[in-house]
Amino acid sequence: MRTSTNYRGGRPMIMCRHGVASAGHYLGAEAGLHILRAGGNAMDAAAAVSFALAVLEPHLNGVGGEVPVLLYSASDGRAHAVSGHGVAPAAATIERFRELGIEDAIPGDGFLPALVPPFVDTWTTVLARFGTMRLTDVLTPALDLAEKGFAVGNGLHGSIAKHADRLRSEWPSSAAKFLPGGEPPAVGTVWRQPELAATFRKLIEAEAAHRKRELCLRAARDRFYLGDIAEAIVNFAAATPVKDASGQEHTCLLTLDDLADFSARVEEPVAVSYKGIEVHKCSSWTQGPVLLQALKLLEGFAVAEMEHNSADYIHAVVECMKLAYADREFYYGDPDFADVPFDRLLSEDYAAERRGLVDMKAASMLLRPGGYEPLRAENVRDVLDVFVGEGAWKNATGDTTKLEVADGDGNMVSSTPSGGWLMSSPVIPGVGFPLGTRGQMFSLVAGHPNSLEPGKRPRMTLTPSLATRDGSPYLAFGSPGGDCQDQWALQFFLNVVEFGMSLQEAAEAPTFFTGHFPSSFYPRGAEPGVLYVEGRIPDDVRIELQNRGHILKVRGDWSSQNALAAMSHDGLLTAAASPRPETSYALGW
């Protein structure tokens, strides 16, 4: 790990011995540090960070949203994935959606795309299997923030203000929470969330009836999925028609049985080796394997010999990502329902075959999944439930948050909380949070690996990353940003591994992304050949990329995203956070 004496970035890299936490909000990172100082491990601290972020960043994530987790457990010496992803209700079938007049794409707002909220069960599962504390312990910082309040930042204020008219006119329960006095809370206002605090207190009350930690965690989980919280969710969402992007009003399809039957699962990650580093991702219920496929493709290029963010480098990375994401569209889906051929997709032979499609002098305008005929823009709509057009990706940002935690005992966690945010679905009265809308990522094309089925997980964008070296924890990393998450995480990883940057240098380096393939979000748009770059990419590089056929669109100098990260290296724990999100920060002890 290099720390350049010439580096003059905006954030310090955190270097400590006991523990580090990097999070989308500095108070979230502090919540994790509080738990580490109190004797908790990285898994305990990660749960504390995540609950705090659900309070601090309701425009980016929430208790009703999703929270995939990758972790390294020092006690058993291996990496694990935890499926923090909701499943489709039993009533959610393609036929049912046809009856409701939904033919092409599931709306991205309202109640129809709601899945079983996995957040609480995910963290109780992590704590029960890998943690040392009760839910009450890790909930305390979040409860304090919800009850006593915190200062509203620009991002939260701006998001509430942007959606204020809809909250007032359509979602009175959301207006009651997010528009105190009828207006968005001003920047610097101390803002409280009493209904959410009351929900947290119910979980704490459930634990209080038991002494054994395992029984405490189970009781809290059951209060959410079997008790009055579940009843409040279903009674409101199944009885309250809400207008969505279809132009019609719909209720949710969730039932009490759907919530009662849900459980998060500990699974094997998918992994590949790159330059002696084992990179782990959640399986194809996320888009995560695209990063692994891109790494296998890039192994055949002399990346380290290319100048960082040169035209050759950007072109190679983008063209490899186009190929990986094309496979995502045709092969990825919940592996419990679809046969995803990882033996082939991640193989050396397949990477060599696909690598031959990369023309270093010309950008591809085709969507080229392996084993299928290449698709031109005008034909994509005939095969996938997407549209192709100008501006489909223009709002690509980071409506998601992030956390990375590592402790001095060799435990490490990467998680990507998202969904259940204020702008897509109304707050459930009495519980203080909205439901998620990740069901929009299902395909309504029958027989597609990602087609809608009851009990199935849609292939979502959320994608934490974890790397090990010589069997030991090395790097937890990842980025907010929808379909761009693995594009930016890949760049961060290469910045560190190929170009020798420190974590903070890697997080602050200029980034780029392509909108070439279909977005996962309603209405599933695509922009073939379009390449977005931050303004800090030099003019001569931009000109050369245009000469190679990329349709270049320049964004602000710090307008995209890049990773948050935690590393264990040579007996030292380090952490970093991209300065692009206003409140993201890394802390250590």
User: For tokens 């050949």, what's the residue?
Assistant: 529
Residues 49 and 101 in one domain: yes
Q: By percentage, how much of the chain surpasses pLDDT 70?
A: 97
Label residue 5 by pLDDT band (50, 70, 90): very low
Residues 6+ apart with CB under 8 A from 59: 155, 156, 159, 160, 399, 421, 422, 423
Residue 72 has pLDDT above 70, yes or no: yes
Label residue 387 by pLDDT band (50, 70, 90): low
What is the secondary structure of 309-323 as a DSSP string?
T-HHHHHHHHHHHHH
Residues 271 and 246 in one domain: no
Residue 239 has pLDDT above 70, yes or no: yes
Q: What is the pLDDT of residue 6?
A: 47
Asked if residue 94 lies in contact with residue 253, where contact means CB atoms within 8 angstroms, the answer is no
Residue 389 has pLDDT above 80, yes or no: no
Asked if residue 465 lies in contact with residue 478, where contact means CB atoms within 8 angstroms, the answer is yes
The CA distance from 242 to 174, in Å, is 13
Give the residue from 287, 526, 482 showing the smallest Cα distance to 386.
526
Residues 433 and 384 in one domain: no
Rg of the chain's alpha carbons, rounded to an integer? Answer: 22
- How far, CA to CA in Å, does 531 sit from each of 311, 411, 497? 12, 38, 24
The residue type found at 36 is L
Q: What angle do CA 459, 318, 290 make, to 5 degrees?
A: 25
Cα-Cα-Cα-Cα torsion 135, 137, 140, 142, nearest 10 degrees, comes to -50
Residues 203 and 252 in one domain: yes
Q: What angle do CA 44, 416, 332 make, to 5 degrees?
A: 130
Residues 106 and 163 in one domain: yes
Helix (H) or strand (E) holding 227: none
* Residue 40, domain extent: 24-65+90-266+422-441
Residues 61 and 210 in one domain: yes
Single pTM value for the model:
0.96
Alpha-carbon torsion (29, 430, 135, 74), positive or negative: negative
Q: What is the pLDDT of residue 3?
A: 43
Query: Does residue 282 form part of some domain?
Result: yes
Residue 7 has pLDDT above 60, yes or no: no
| DSSP 3-state of 211 | coil
Residue 383 has pLDDT above 50, yes or no: yes
Name the phi and psi angles at 462, rounded to 5.
-65, 130
Tokens of 113: 């795309």
| DSSP 3-state of 210 | coil
Label residue 394 by pLDDT band (50, 70, 90): low
Asked if residue 214 lies in contact with residue 111, where contact means CB atoms within 8 angstroms, the answer is no
Q: 3-state secondary structure string, 525-586?
A: EECCCEEEEECCCCHHHHHHHHHCCCEEEEECCCCCCCCEEEEEECCEEEEEECCCCCCCEE
Averaged pLDDT of the chain: 95
Query: Does residue 453 form part of some domain?
Result: no
261-316: per-residue pLDDT in tens? 999 999 999 999 999 999 999 999 999 999 999 999 999 999 999 999 999 999 99
| DSSP 3-state of 419 | coil
Query: Does residue 366 form part of some domain?
Result: yes
The CA distance from 467 to 72, in Å, is 9
Asked if residue 109 lies in contact with residue 435, where contact means CB atoms within 8 angstroms, the answer is no
Residues 191 and 168 in one domain: yes
- How far, CA to CA in Å, does 25 sit from each of 28, 31, 154, 467, 562? 5, 10, 12, 23, 15
Q: How many CB atoms lie within 10 A of CB 494?
A: 23
DSSP label of 375:
B
Tokens of 112: 């129809």
Cα-Cα-Cα-Cα torsion 423, 442, 564, 411, nearest 10 degrees, comes to 120
Asked if residue 110 lies in contact with residue 251, where contact means CB atoms within 8 angstroms, the answer is no
| DSSP 3-state of 40 | coil
Residues 336 and 431 in one domain: no
Q: What is the largest CA-CA distance in the chain?
A: 68
Query: Does residue 416 form part of some domain?
Result: no
Provide mean pLDDT across the span 526-544: 97
Q: What is the pLDDT of residue 560?
A: 87
Query: Does residue 299 form part of some domain?
Result: yes
Residues 250 and 326 in one domain: no
Question: Can you say how many angstroms the Cα of residue 530 is from the centroid of all Cα atoms in its chain?
Answer: 23
Provide mean pLDDT across the span 355-383: 92
Residues 348 and 279 in one domain: yes
The CA distance from 341 to 527, in Å, is 27
Query: Does residue 566 form part of some domain?
Result: yes
Which of 224-238, 283-297, 527-541, 552-566 shows the lowest mean pLDDT across its residues? 552-566
Give the residue from 452, 520, 457, 436 showing the smallest Cα distance to 486.
520
Tokens of 566: 């935690």
Residue 396 has pLDDT above 80, yes or no: no
Residue 393 has pLDDT above 70, yes or no: no
Residue 325 has pLDDT above 60, yes or no: yes
The CA distance from 419 to 181, in Å, is 26
Phi-psi category of 277—alpha, beta or left, where left has phi over 0 and alpha has psi -120 to 50?
beta
Cα-Cα-Cα-Cα torsion 228, 230, 231, 233, nearest 10 degrees, comes to 120
Exposure pattern of 38-76 as b/e (b: 16+ CB <10 Å)? Answer: eebbbbbbbbbbbbbbbbbbbbbbbbbbbbbbbbbbbee
Q: How many CB atoms lie within 10 A of CB 429?
A: 16
Based on the number of CB atoms within 10 Å of its own CB, is 148 exposed (0-12), middle (13-18) or buried (19 or more)?
A: exposed
Based on the number of CB atoms within 10 Å of its own CB, is 283 exposed (0-12), middle (13-18) or buried (19 or more)?
A: buried
Residues 296 and 259 in one domain: no
State the angle between helix axes of 194-208 and 135-148 in degrees (0 to 180), rounded to the nearest 10. 160
Given strand 530-534, what is the order of strands in its sheet?
Answer: 512-514, 530-534, 551-555
Domain count for the chain: 2
Residues 106 and 128 in one domain: yes
CATH code of 510's domain? 1.10.246.130
Query: Does residue 184 form part of some domain?
Result: yes
Provide mean pLDDT across the span 176-199: 97
What is the secondary structure of 487-511 as a DSSP string?
HHHHHHHHHHHTT---HHHHHHS--
| DSSP 3-state of 21 | strand
Query: Does residue 9 form part of some domain?
Result: no
Label residue 504 by pLDDT band (50, 70, 90): very high
Q: What is the pLDDT of residue 245?
A: 95
Label residue 2 by pLDDT band (50, 70, 90): very low
Q: What is the pLDDT of residue 445?
A: 92
